[in-house]
Chains A and B, each alone.
Chain A
Amino acid sequence: ELKVEQNPLFLSMQEGKNYTIYCNYSTTSDRLYWYRQDPGKSLESLFVLLSNGAVKQEGRLMASLDTKARLSTLHITAAVHDLSATYFCAVDKEGATNKLIFGTGTLLAVQP
């Protein structure tokens, strides 16, 4: 059974600090997705990582993928309040067409 684990579940950080969210998954997959969810809103796609060693960056967020370690990271640089949200990683379930399995999510609160 495919399992996706994120940590931490909750992250409170100060503006200007750096931090990393980790996403581990239990079976082979070379497609990993990061989504953002604002309170009361739906999920918005942030990054799609398609191959081992893939790195994508947008603004203060950078995502990377290590398929051998079955690990993806979402790095936050110099956090600002606008980044406060819940972040989810998801992977394709092996052998299934875009059947996404999600992690538990990380609630990020950036304090002034």
Chain B
Amino acid sequence: DVKVTQSSRYLVKRTGEKVFLECVQDMDHENMFWYRQDPGLGLRLIYFSYDVKMKEKGDIPEGYSVSREKKERFSLILESASTNQTSMYLCASSLTSSRPKGAFFGQGTRLTVV
């Protein structure tokens, strides 16, 4: 089975801190994604990566950056955390060649910025 693992289930950070959310997948997937999930807004795409060192902005990239130095790892960085970034963050991965199967998701990281 595909496994997508996020480094933390819960995080509490202070306003202005630099925050790193880590995601690792074990199935050699080319594509990796970061979404945030907020009540009533569904999942919104922050960034995605289709190859090592390649990235593309999603719909809400402001305040975030990403890093993909290795194929299995995709990091989301909050440069200076703010309270409006309190949310559930979901990482996902997929294979380009088996696109019809859609994306596989990690368990989520609930981030609270105080």
Q: B47 to chain A: closest CB distance in Å?
A: 11
Contact B48 A99, beta carbon cutoff 8 Å: yes
**In chain B, residues 55-114, which have Cβ atoms closer than 8 Å to a Cβ of chain A?**
56, 58-59, 90, 92, 94, 96, 99-108
Is A9 interfacial (CB-CB < 8 Å)?
yes
> What chain A residues lie within 8 Å of B56 (beta carbons)?
96, 99
Which of B45, B90, B104 meets A99, CB within 8 Å?
Answer: B45
Which of B45, B100, B105 meets A42, CB within 8 Å?
Answer: B105
> What chain A residues lie within 8 Å of B35 (beta carbons)?
102
Is A25 interfacial (CB-CB < 8 Å)?
no
Q: How large is the interface on B (under 10, 10 to 19, 20 to 34, 35 or more residues)?
A: 20 to 34
> What chain B residues lie within 8 Å of A99 (beta carbons)?
33, 45, 48, 56, 58
Q: B93 to chain A: closest CB distance in Å?
A: 10
State in angstroms the CA–CA spacing of A98 and B93 once bound together: 10
> What chain A residues lie within 8 Å of B106 (beta carbons)?
42
State in angstroms the CA–CA spacing of A94 and B76 once bound together: 24
Is A104 interfacial (CB-CB < 8 Å)?
yes
Contact B42 A88, beta carbon cutoff 8 Å: yes
> What chain B residues lie within 8 Å of A105 (beta carbons)?
42-43
A12-20, A43-51, A62-70, A76-84: which lies at the B interface?
A: A43-51
| Identity of the chain A residue whose Cβ is nearest the Cβ of B6 in the assembled complex | A42
Contact B90 A97, beta carbon cutoff 8 Å: no
Q: B51 to chain A: closest CB distance in Å?
A: 10
| Identity of the chain B residue whose Cβ is nearest the Cβ of A40 in the assembled complex | B108
Q: B32 to chain A: closest CB distance in Å?
A: 10
The 4 closest A-B pairs by CB, nearest first: A102-B43, A104-B42, A43-B105, A42-B105
List residues of A whose CB falls within 8 A of some B CB: 4, 6, 9, 31, 33, 35, 41-45, 48, 50, 88, 90, 92, 96-105
List residues of B whose CB falls within 8 A of some A CB: 30-31, 33, 35, 40-45, 48, 50, 56, 58-59, 90, 92, 94, 96, 99-108
